[in-house]
Amino acid sequence: MALVLKQINVEGLAQLSYIVGDDKAGLAVIIDPRRDIDIYLQRARDLRVKIIGSIETHIHADFVSGSHELKARMNVPIYGAKTDNYQFELNQLQEGDEIKIGSVTLRAVHTPGHTPEHISLLIYDSNQGKEPFGLFTGDTLFNLDVGRPDLLGGGSEKQLAKQLYHSLFEKILPLGDRLEVYPCHGAGSSCGKSIGDRRQSTIGNERLFNPALKERSPEEFVEWILSEMPEPPRHYARLKKVNGKGAPIKGCPPTLQPLTPTAFQEKMQEENTVIIDARSILAFGGGHIPGAINIALRPQFPNWVGWMIDPKQFLLVVVESERDVKLVAEQLFRIGYDNLAGYLHDGMTSWQNAGLPLQHLGEWTVQELNQHKDEANVTILDVRGDDEYQQGYIPGAEHIFVAHLEENLAQLDKNQAIATYCGSGYRASIAASLLQKHGFETTINIPGSWKAWKAAKLPIQHPEKSELVSA
């Protein structure tokens, strides 16, 4: 065997990186590495290959690149597209440039659209003939989706959408249906509108089933791709700058230090400090530290930390069990949260045994919400995205997307009971905890939220209709 091609998935970010090389020659490169690089070093040892470089398909917006960590640890070059937006030493790749790794060759293809500098990489194996067998597409082409062209903002959206059309229809599709597609993201990433579940595909499969590759004129494609585009997460613009400049070298994820309840309470009082309670929404509702924000440790955890928390703040963390501490630190490290002040040792058990204050969050079933929804002292707050809200909502609900809740608190009455709901209860718990932190005394989360409401076949209202319909 000679070809090495290993895909590594980052849970929580749905980010895909690759070890590519030739084990006979004992050489490999890493494509789009994540920030915590030990996994690449371990895999390289297992495969008996030497890492000789890393390649960036583009300036990433959703995670901190690990290229600089690899360079610092292994003294290897960084390769990437030719652009002035990289503010560090880079081996620049233009259309047609090649990197040879034993019997394996990677050839750059300029595929702008998601970003102006974006490159994809054709892969050749001389043991399998002279034609390429696959394409590392970065954020240009995913399973059932394509990269969004709106992340740069500043009026560049239409121009990038036009470039994306030409990259897809004039560069990628003509390569032939048999080519395998190795994207930078799977389902769950916000780098596309709605990325499919498969982490590997073929051009032929995408030609058949990817809605973005339906036959359209360039003008029709631009209109389609930019319509109903969800708002990009808040941390994307920041991470673009971090990766363009080059992330600071840390060596490894920071170690979260255990704090006694007394030490934790003292840290809470320090300026610019926030508490993230990463326990489940039901555990949080049962009892939590006053002022904590509930962002449960599920796959979407890093994305919602990015939405809701300023990285300049110092983070105190509460977890369900000690085994979650390492995972929290890794997830935060991957999106550039380095100011970790510590975690509560022995969790909420130690806090309650110390006799320290507790807050509780109300919880209603959807049936209870239905019973209370017409009461004068109850406000129902839909905290889903605009696109979700437009598909239907609970009758009488007000709407504020959770990511914009803090700047719109004046729209809500603190004398009202506020019942928050989202798609499943996850974002609703973030919202309810945030309201409580800002002095709303009666806040209620709805576990199951919209999913449970529809399952119970309770009435639904649509923005364009005045009448109610059954779920």
Q: Where in the sequence numbering do the catalytic residues fall? A: 422
- Write down the number of H helices and E strands in the chain: 15, 24
> Could you tell me if 373 and 394 are in contact, meaning their C-beta atoms sit under 8 angstroms apart?
yes
Going from the C-alpha of 85 to that of each of 116, 241, 242, 246, the distances in angstroms are 10, 9, 11, 11
Rg of the chain's alpha carbons, rounded to an integer?
Answer: 24
- Give the burial string for 265-286 (b: 16+ CB within 10 Å, else e): bebbeeeeebbbbbbbbebbbe
Distance between CA 343 and CA 322 in Å, rounded? 9
- Which of these, 157, 205, 198, lies nearest to 178 by C-alpha position? 205
In whole angstroms, give the CA distance from residue 142 to residue 185. 7
Q: What is the DSSP letter of 168?
A: I
Token representation of residue 246:
């080059």
3-class DSSP state for residue 446? coil
Tell the burial category of 208 from Cβ atoms under 10 Å away from its Cβ (0-12, 13-18, 19+).
exposed
3-state secondary structure at position 442: coil
Query: Measuring CA to CA, which residue among 289, 275, 284 is closest to residue 343?
Result: 275
DSSP string, 237-279: HHHHHHHHH-PPP-SSPPPPPEE-HHHHHHHHTSTTEEEEE-S
Q: How far apart are CA 13 and CA 370, in angstroms?
A: 35
Amino acid at 5: L
Query: Given the structure tokens 């930078």, which residue do they identify?
Result: 184
Token reading at 137: 């597409």
End-to-end CA distance of the chain: 56
- Interatomic CA distance for residues 222 and 165, integer angstroms: 8
